[in-house]
Structure 1
């Protein structure tokens, strides 16, 4: 049976890779075939990805005849189908919060994507817009502040324990520190450390190897004088 993930290293598809590892899905479905792409490359349109992803973006997951894209949809499906303890069923008191955090993760990820486009993909002679970058960083900080205020005293996003909503945040908290210092957010720093300590997360990082996307540890807002 086909069990294939269309993947970019440490991209949104990391969420799916991590969840597969958390569930132990390869023990049930067999070895995962990972098709890796270089983000923005022509190979994304020239290979099989357009067949399984309407937007020709990652992640895309194939299980037998099923093909899905959109990380939030994939995470929800995998939780509901193979690991209900990582989801929250209809009628569960934590269901609304679970849904909220799954989608909140994409609100945050869209801001990270905007910063990636401005700061990483633009190459000379193109230059990022200091105004756009400053506003986007401010909005990203706002999403972090909102999380910090709602973390409470529990280890994970939901009092009931680790879930697919936390998996959705894993990609975000990997990428956020390239644009926003986490010093003002002690609960999020501790939350990130707990994610990184999970055996399944560690296994995925070992599988991924050193990241190849960012060429520096931190990208400050550009000087307006160089716009």
Structure 2
């Protein structure tokens, strides 16, 4: 039994996608909505102590944090070739990508909070939103220089692509992607993968973002 605790089109998409790449989509998906009471109650809290997504029940254990889950899946199902173990010449780049993806995702999370979740009388700080948007753009510029083809690593698809791919779904809601042709081509190639399409079909249309693009708010 593989059970995924999941927010549609959230970071847990990384895990859903990677499981599809491995030919073992979850037997059960427990879906949550950000901010709903169920994320603070027993159930999710039993498998993810901070009440955060994703959490995965697999192999008789539970594991949370998408980076840890991706590395675990790659290591325990190494026959798929999606990990880069000790001694592999690409291991450093693989590990860098796992960490870099979370640095980037933390900025997206902050922008999600400011643009989507603050309600009157609270309001986002234009200065903070502008700073985080610029920082996200900096990570995209860096990633543009790292990506060389249709996969992050020259040897082919890996867990690094599952980690980074989620970010490239979310980042264009906050940063215009015109300056990043390599990233746009990379993202298009990832979306064309059969397992990505399978995971996207399981997800259904995204309902998280209500606009095509979120501008930095103006202080009035």
Give me the TM-score of the superposition, normalised by structure 2. 0.96
Contact 1:23 1:83 in 2 (8 A): no
Unaligned runs of 5+ in 2: none
- Aligned counterpart, 2:63: 68
Alignment of 1:115-154 (within 5 A): 115-152=111-148, 154=149
Shift of 1:40: 1.2
Task: Please tell me whether residue 77 in structure 1 is matched to residue 76 in structure 2.
Answer: no
Secondary structure in 1 matching 2:120: coil
Contact 2:151 2:190 in 1 (8 A): no
- Aligned counterpart, 2:194: 199
Shift of 1:83: 3.5
Aligned residues: 219
Query: In structure 1, what is the Cα distance between the partners aligned to 2:42 and 2:209?
Result: 25
Unaligned runs of 5+ in 1: none
Mean Cα displacement is larger for which, 175-184 or 117-126?
A: 117-126
Query: In structure 1, what is the Cα distance between the partners aligned to 2:144 and 2:218?
Result: 29
Alignment of 1:100-119 (within 5 A): 100-119=96-115
Query: In structure 1, what is the Cα distance between the partners aligned to 2:146 and 2:13?
Result: 25
- Aligned counterpart, 1:15: 14
Calculate the aligned-residue CA RMSD, in Å: 1.1
Task: Please tell me whether residue 53 in structure 1 is matched to residue 48 in structure 2.
Answer: yes
Query: In structure 1, what is the Cα distance between the partners aligned to 2:210 and 2:147?
Result: 31
Alignment of 1:34-45 (within 5 A): 34-45=29-40
Give me the TM-score of the superposition, normalised by structure 1. 0.93
Q: Which consecutive segments of 4 or more residues in structure 1 shift more than 2 A?
A: none
Secondary structure in 2 matching 1:175: helix
